[in-house]
Amino acid sequence: MEKVAVVGVGWYGFSPHVHDLSFREMMFEAASRAYYDAGGMDPRKDVDTFISCQEDFWEGISISDEFAPDPIGGAMRPTMTVAGDGLQGVAHGVMQITSGLADVVVVESHAKPSDIITFSDVVKLSEDPIYVRSAKVPNIHFVAALDATKFLSRGKATRADLAEVVSKNKSAGLSSSKAPYAARIDKDYVLSQDYVLTPFTRLDIAQPVDAAIVVVLASETVARRFSDTPIWIHGIGFATDSSNLELATLGEARYMRLAAERAYLMAGVESPLKFRGIFVDDRYSHKELEHLEALGITDVVEKLREGYFHPGSYLPVNPKGGLLAKGYPLEASGLSLLLDAVEYMREGEESAIVGSWRGFFTFTGSVAVMSR
């Protein structure tokens, strides 16, 4: 595959409640920053296609695609929506470039969960309408809890290991400018909290956050016109396990394994251990470990206990705090991890793997393999 570069990133928000800007204004702020970052690119001239990643019920607007073009410079241009995670949008962008259709693609995603009054009810609308939704389970974390219980029942990880993930990520977030949920807490503090539902305390569950993120992708041929320090995407993959809850695999992240297989094949990755950082969805504490396993890293629990994944160690995992510290901006979650990876490599690290997930009730994830 022809390499594709990230030549610009911009973001706005990462606040639990951006009350003074509409989602469109947030998109414009994020886009302006991304174009400035991409060497002062003019989106009205320099960009070939635009991709927005959003879902109607998150927006409270039917056909929210209508609002995609204007604030990112995409009016009267080829603009479209991928109803999925931002990293899936990046995959579509990569395909538009490698097919020869575009040289520069802009991928945007945003989230304004603070606008949603009935957040849990909206999440429940993604359950199968005929029978899962009729079961009227008391809270939206039940599948995550089943998944975590299954994961723990395999006997390697314990509740304390999950607490270690929480402590590691929330502390790491203190060094990030976009981590409203960062906190210096230790494992014992997490373990002392009451369960929300076993095996989770409220600290094990990431919170939604308002944010808009824009990423500018460019083909290998034109990348250096916009950036002296492009970050390369060597491989990208995405996959859905099974969207029917009772048929999907619990206790392991098969979607992530399938996505990683494709991305690794494309990039010629021999071992993920050779990378300098991993940025992976941790919206529930156990998911970080489950996702690391799916990325092909063995003995994750042992490695966690040895400090292998801590910032500054052999293979830092979520060194900018992950979603536990930053919050998860709905469909922009994948882009928020990608953003961290780009910043991390711009600070001097060689390479990174990004692994995103769309959250329950989905079994869909994406993986990107990147280097400086």
Interactions with another protein, residue window 26-65 (CB under 8 A): 28, 31-32, 35, 42-44, 55-57, 60-63, 65
Nearer residue to another protein within complex by CB, 57 or 308: 57
Q: Verify binding: residue 221, another protein, rule CB under 8 A.
A: no
CB nearer to another protein: pick between 114 and 371: 114
Stretch 266-305 residues interacting with another protein (CB under 8 A): 266
- Tokens coding 118: 């009935």
The closest of 281, 248, 257 to 87, measured between CA atoms, is 281
Task: Give the nearest distance from C-beta 335 to another protein in angstroms.
Answer: 15
Distance CA 244, CA 191 (A): 33
365 binds another protein (CB under 8 A): no
Q: How far is the CB of 71 from another protein (least distance, A)?
A: 6
Sequence-distant (6+) residues with CB within 8 A of 128 are 244, 245
Shortest distance, position 233 Cβ to another protein, whole Å: 12
Q: Which is nearer to another protein, 44 or 184 (CB)?
A: 44
Task: Give residue for tokens 């809890």.
Answer: 145
* 185 binds another protein, rule: CB under 8 A: no
**Footprint of another protein on residues 142-181 (CB under 8 A)?**
none
Distance CA 30, CA 18 (A): 13
Q: Is 82 in the site for another protein (CB under 8 A)?
A: yes
Residue that the structure tokens 């969960």 belong to: 113
> Distance between alpha carbon 13 and the CA centroid of its chain, in Å?
16
- Of the candidate spans 76-84, 142-150, 169-177, 308-316, the one that interacts with another protein by CB under 8 A turns out to be 76-84
Which one of 6, 68, 172, 233 is in contact with another protein (CB under 8 A)? 68
For residues 90 and 182, which CB has a smaller minimum distance to another protein in the complex?
Answer: 90
CA-wise closest residue to 164 among 336, 300, 349, 327: 300
Residue from 36, 40, 66, 174 touching another protein (CB under 8 A): that is 66
Q: Does 135 bind another protein (CB under 8 A)?
A: no
Minimum CB separation of residue 118 from another protein in Å reads: 5
Tell me the sheet residues that pair with 276.
none
Residue 348: how many other CB atoms lie within 10 Å:
8
250: contact with another protein by CB under 8 A? no
What gap in Å lies between CA 301 and CA 158, rounded to an integer? 9
CA distance 21 to 25: 6
From 69, 230, 316, 334, residue interacting with another protein (rule: CB under 8 A): 69
Sequence-distant (6+) residues with CB within 8 A of 228 are: none
